Amino acid sequence: MRTEYDYVIVGAGTAGCVLAHRLSEDGSFSVLLLEHGGDDRNWIIQMPAGLRSAFKPTSKYNYWFKTTPQKFLNNREIDQPRGKALGGSSSINGMTFLRGNPRDYDDWVEVEGCAGWSFADCLPYFKRFERRDGPRNEYRNTTGMVGVKTQQELSTLNNAFLEAGQQAGHALTEDVNGYSQEGVSRFEMSVEGGIRSTSARAYLHSQPKRRNLEIKTGVKVLRVLVEKGRAVGVEFAKGSNRHHVRASREVILSAGAFGTPQLLMLSGVGPEGHLKAHDVPVVFNAPNVGENLQDHLEAHIQVETVKSVSLNKYLKPHLMVWAGMQWFGWKGGVAAVNQCHVGAFLRSTPETTHPDIQFHFFPILFGPNWIPDPDKNGYRLGAGPMRPESRGTVRLASADPNDAPLIDPNYLATDSDWFVMREGLKLGRELLSQPAFKEFHHREDLPGVHVRTDAEWCDFIREDASSAYHPCGTARMGADGDARAVVDLNLKFRGIDALRIVDASVIPAVPSANINACVFMIAEKAADKILDRAPLPPEVVPYHRAN
């Protein structure tokens, strides 16, 4: 292994893999990509239905963090899983592929002051990485790096959801990632050819091996090395051995919304008082590192049916064997797709500018801890606020890099967030009560018909709500003069030269959807900035505006 590279990238998650490919693409620069986890080329990750095996506390592919006790959720510690493998959380997520609403990105400019990050600026980068299994048009692309598909042959329950949504008065959206997000729609998935489209598969494994790109797995980066106000490299551990490696051009942190602020603070870059409390020598006082944590929260309505129409039946041993044979044989069958094929984006009030509630619909009945019961049937609807006002923090638990960080999303800290959460559940119950679901409705399992008043809804939310796993914002980008910003609009760290952050932590305000596609876009856009290339020309297209 060399002792110096042009670029050292910390974290081979969604963004890190994109950058490793783009920065080494033309052979001009040497790139080192460091990842704590292992390889993602295992059937548990590659098989879309293997999600349950990757997505559990005992999985070697999952950090399975917990939040601090959440005071507005009965002091419960909420699960915060993160990917621990090449591909990062794209290797363990639910594969639901959503960009967010175009208004989100225009608000990054108009509300958050992030010039150059409007939807017109971001659209060409969304299109750059996307290989859609569907028509190409001014909104969508079919020739990018990441395979994306829509499940066209819907199950009985998924069809009932789309019909019920229209019966409830909501529009049927043709392409949720196109002109209009609002309404009920088919959701796309980051799956291609029956295999999960991880960022590692798309940007690393699909490419010939490059002499100028070195990838190291199973390494723990301990700190960024800073000399005279410049990031010059990193220190990392491989087993019991410690190593220093230098970066002649830049150190790039892509360790995610939890890992990036933790690594900065372990390096002495963060809130001065907090660092001193943990006896970490202060290298640079950056009070906003670890601030601005945002996440989507979700609560659930679940209905039991007596009809054998849900995915639960596939959990019977002989059908699981058949599903496995289909997938291993020709990457087909029920194991070759994810489980969320339809959903909705709705507004909590007529005055709301654009959808602030998301529904994920699952044609499966779950027991505790999302474990489905093979002997029952049913369906679940997750509902939650898309643009929460609540803000939390990431802090050090100690100066030991092996200790998980303290994650406090501060869920439901505002009256507005409570209102939108309740409205989402009410709208969800209304949708599931439409005639299209009548023949399938046996009983409401969650929350139960006894929950009617706002107070009862609040009690239920305190017991049921969980993360939708979209943490972001902990190293916020912002314009010059923005006191909240950790990085500038080119994602350069403010106050330390040759240090850049490219991952979900730079997001100023969480998009109104799952965020994996957004992170792909950020990384593609950042690659041009790092290489000092002219940005792709903005693409101004019309999109649906409610208000």
- pLDDT at site 371: 85
Take residue 74 and report the two structure tokens written for it: 């009965």
CATH 3.50.50.60 assigned to domain 4-530? The reply is: yes
339-366 pLDDT, tens digit per residue, is 999 999 999 999 999 999 999 999 999 9
Who has greater pLDDT, 1 or 350? 350
- The whole-number average pLDDT for the span 47-75 is 92
Q: The whole model's pTM is what?
A: 0.98
Is the confidence at residue 370, as pLDDT, over 90? no
- How many residues are given for the chain? 547
Kindly give the pairing relationship between strand 297-305 and strand 466-467: antiparallel
pLDDT at 57 over 90: no
Tokens encoding 247: 């970066």
DSSP E strand stretches across 59-192: 65-66, 79-80, 96-97, 130-132, 146-150, 172-173, 183-186, 188-189, 191-192
**pLDDT tens by residue, 496-516:** 999 999 999 999 999 999 999
Q: How confident is the model at residue 452 (pLDDT cuts 50, 70, 90)?
A: very high
- Name the residue with higher pLDDT: 272 or 2: 272
> For the purposes of burial, counting CB atoms within 10 Å of the CB of 308, is it exposed (0-12), middle (13-18) or buried (19 or more)?
exposed
> Torsion over CA of 447, 453, 455 and 460, rounded to 10 degrees?
0
Is 79 a residue whose pLDDT tops 80?
yes
Q: Which residue in 47, 118, 34 sits closest to 540, CA to CA?
A: 118
Find the mean pLDDT for residues 440-450.
97
- Domain boundaries defined on the chain: 4-530
> pLDDT value at position 243?
96
Q: What is the pLDDT of residues 186-219, one digit of tens each?
A: 999 999 999 999 999 999 999 999 999 999 999 9
Confidence of residue 320 (pLDDT cuts 50, 70, 90): very high
What does the pLDDT read at residue 53?
A: 85
Examine residue 447 and say whether the peptide bond preceding it is cis (omega within 30 degrees of 0): yes
Compute, in degrees rounded to 10, the torsion defined by CA atoms 44, 50, 55, 59. Answer: -30
Predicted confidence (pLDDT) at residue 23 exceeds the cutoff of 80: yes
- Residues 297, 310 contacting (CB under 8 angstroms): no
- 18 pLDDT more than 80: yes
pLDDT at site 358: 98
What's the token pair of residue 313?
């039946």
Per-residue model confidence (pLDDT) at position 56: 81
Whether residue 1 has pLDDT greater than 90: no
The answer, yes or no, to whether residue 274 has pLDDT greater than 90, is yes
Phi, psi of 203, rounded to the nearest 5 degrees: -110, -15
Q: Cβ(53)–Cβ(44) under 8 Å?
A: yes
pLDDT band at 432 (very low <50, low <70, confident <90, very high): very high
* Mean of all residue pLDDT scores within the chain: 97
State the pLDDT confidence band at 480, using cuts at 50, 70 and 90: very high
Please identify every residue annotated as catalytic. Answer: 470
